Amino acid sequence: MPEMTFCHVWHSPAEETASAHSIAAEISRFILPPCVWRAAVGARPDASDNSILLHCRQVRMTPPRCRQGRRVVCSCLCRRQNGGRDPLMKRICALSFLMEMSGMLCFFTVPLLAVSFGISGLFLGYLGAAGVGTYMTSAFVSGHLAERAGAKRLAALGVVLIGCASAAALAASSISHLFLLTVGLNIGFGLFWAPFMTIVNRTGAPIGTARTVSAFSFAWSLGGMVAPVFAGWLFQVWNRLPFLAALAGFFSVAAVLAGVEDNGGSAAESAPQQGKDGSIAAAFFGVCAVFIVAFGCLRGQFPKLAAEVGISARTLGILYTLMDASRTGVFALAGRHPGWFKRHGLIAAWTGVACLTLIGVVVSSSAWIHAVSFAAVGSAVGISYAYALHEVFRLRGGSGAVLGKMEAMFSFGMFAGSLSGGFAAWAFGIRGPYGFGCGLGVCAASVQALLFRWQQVVSPQGGRDGV
């Protein structure tokens, strides 16, 4: 347990009054109802007490019992002083939104452009596999280099490379050009995301790990959700217009990134907590399995089933948007209810329940039943991703090497899902991937629950620190 820290600073009369108010607020917390107590604290006009603001920087170093009464007081004062939110965190969220939206504009357009060039289904699969494999390798390498070469420098290099690839896409005229374009884009994104997330962790430290994960994940997920709508409209106007829009977005990302400070590695990176590897192993295993089910068995193979049972392209788009909206909603709620990060049994159970809903896709052709499966699996993706990122931030201090492994694990899940989904469709028929995904998800949830249990036995206090 961390030790209590004390600050010996001189207090002016105004500061002593504000400190007395904060102590009274702490005591009243145990007397007044929560809603009345929060309203009283929020109504306190004085937010200039330097001693309280100094304590805000040290609140994460104090024991949990000391945090309970003072965390809300400090957070209220900090939010009021910063105009409601941390301006730098706002910039981080805007950057994440722009980057994901611009990237999805490119990745949505590349397969459509390949189809217009007459690519076969086999080579279209090779195109996707080349992109995923490149990203997996690039993210793994950049994560290990982030602590040596500098996270901001690598992220900026990735943005430059992506911008060059987007500009080159305007002149692409053959399938071989699209292969080079896909490789270039994914190398750039691999260079960007893993190092950038180390900056996200350091920037969001004052507001807590749970809120940082929630804000960052919600921002990029929202960008990925709205991008296909604009990409389809732009592609109808001119098949290269999405690349121009993406290029403008990448220029904006470069401008915003230039104003983001990177203070280098944190102390937590060199002193990881011991005895808690089971939590990260369970998180990585669960998210890999969920990505296999979501992107390989469900999302990757569903267009074939939709054409077979007569589901329109419009309905298909709604189902895909529903999955993304469900994932985005989970990210939004994660910051409001950070206690669920400690409920390991619930995380594993929901993974199994979400995958069980794929039975509806196996036995029914109703779009309404399919919508339940898409929403449930989308929420499982959100829960698994948020928990994995939360554990890396909390237990490994946002280490670039671990973040690189996490991104590589996600990519491997999508890659393995594409292969396994195609094999299941070939071996068991058009509805085979969904039965395979259901069985895989239930087995993965069981193994994840066992890993959580092993982690609690090895480290009884693991996962019960602050969030």
Task: State the pLDDT at residue 450.
Answer: 87
Is residue 68 domain-shared with residue 89, that is, in the same domain?
no
User: Of the residues 39, 63, 81, which one is the last residue of a structural domain?
Assistant: 81
**327, 386 Cβ separation under 8 angstroms:** no
Question: Does any domain span residue 404?
Answer: yes
Task: State the pLDDT at residue 98.
Answer: 93
Is residue 171 domain-shared with residue 146, that is, in the same domain?
yes
Q: Which position has the higher pLDDT, 31 or 213?
A: 213
Is residue 163 domain-shared with residue 297, that is, in the same domain?
no
| 276 pLDDT above the threshold of 70 | no
Question: Does any domain span residue 5?
Answer: no
User: Of the residues 81, 103, 131, which one is the last residue of a structural domain?
Assistant: 81
Task: State the pLDDT at residue 218.
Answer: 92
Is residue 115 domain-shared with residue 55, that is, in the same domain?
no
Calpha distance 281→286 (Å, rounded): 8
* Section 88-92 average pLDDT: 84
**463, 340 Cβ separation under 8 angstroms:** no
Q: Which position has the higher pLDDT, 372 or 277?
A: 372
Q: Which position has the higher pLDDT, 105 or 462?
A: 105
Question: Does any domain span residue 24?
Answer: yes
Question: Does any domain span residue 310?
Answer: yes
Is residue 142 domain-shared with residue 59, that is, in the same domain?
no
Q: What is the pTM of this model?
A: 0.74
| 35 pLDDT above the threshold of 50 | no
Question: Does any domain span residue 297?
Answer: yes
* Section 422-448 average pLDDT: 88
Question: Does any domain span residue 60?
Answer: yes
Supply the CATH number for residue 247's domain: 1.20.1250.20
Q: C-alpha distances in angstroms, 241 versus 156, 159, 180, 185, 416?
A: 24, 19, 19, 17, 32
User: Of the residues 36, 54, 81, which one is the last residue of a structural domain?
Assistant: 81
Q: List pLDDT tens digits, range 383-394.
A: 999 888 888 888
Is residue 278 domain-shared with residue 261, that is, in the same domain?
no
Q: What residues contact residue 272 under an 8 Å CB cut-off, 6+ apart?
A: 395, 396, 397, 399
Is residue 115 domain-shared with residue 147, that is, in the same domain?
yes
Q: Which position has the higher pLDDT, 272 or 182?
A: 182
| 72 pLDDT above the threshold of 70 | no
Is residue 209 domain-shared with residue 293, that is, in the same domain?
no
Q: Which position has the higher pLDDT, 84 or 91?
A: 91
Q: Which of 30-44, 118-132, 258-272, 381-395 has the highest mean pLDDT?
A: 381-395
Q: C-alpha distances in angstroms, 239 versus 23, 133, 171, 437?
A: 63, 26, 12, 35
Is residue 291 domain-shared with residue 313, that is, in the same domain?
yes
Question: Does any domain span residue 327?
Answer: yes
Is residue 294 domain-shared with residue 434, that is, in the same domain?
yes
* Section 304-325 average pLDDT: 84
Question: Does any domain span residue 8?
Answer: no
Task: State the pLDDT at residue 27.
Answer: 42
Confidence band, pLDDT 50/70/90 cuts, at residue 458 = low
The rounded percent of the chain whose pLDDT value lies above 90 is 25
| 63 pLDDT above the threshold of 60 | no
Is residue 416 domain-shared with residue 459, that is, in the same domain?
yes
Is residue 105 domain-shared with residue 187, that is, in the same domain?
yes
Confidence band, pLDDT 50/70/90 cuts, at residue 244 = very high
Our CA dihedral for 43, 45, 48, 51, rounded to 10 degrees, sits at: -50
Q: List pLDDT tens digits, range 328-379.
A: 999 988 878 777 788 888 888 999 999 999 999 999 889 899 999 999 999 9
| 201 pLDDT above the threshold of 70 | yes
Number of domains making up the chain: 3
Q: Structural domain of residue 244, as residue ranges? A: 85-265
| 182 pLDDT above the threshold of 50 | yes
Q: Which position has the higher pLDDT, 247 or 396?
A: 247
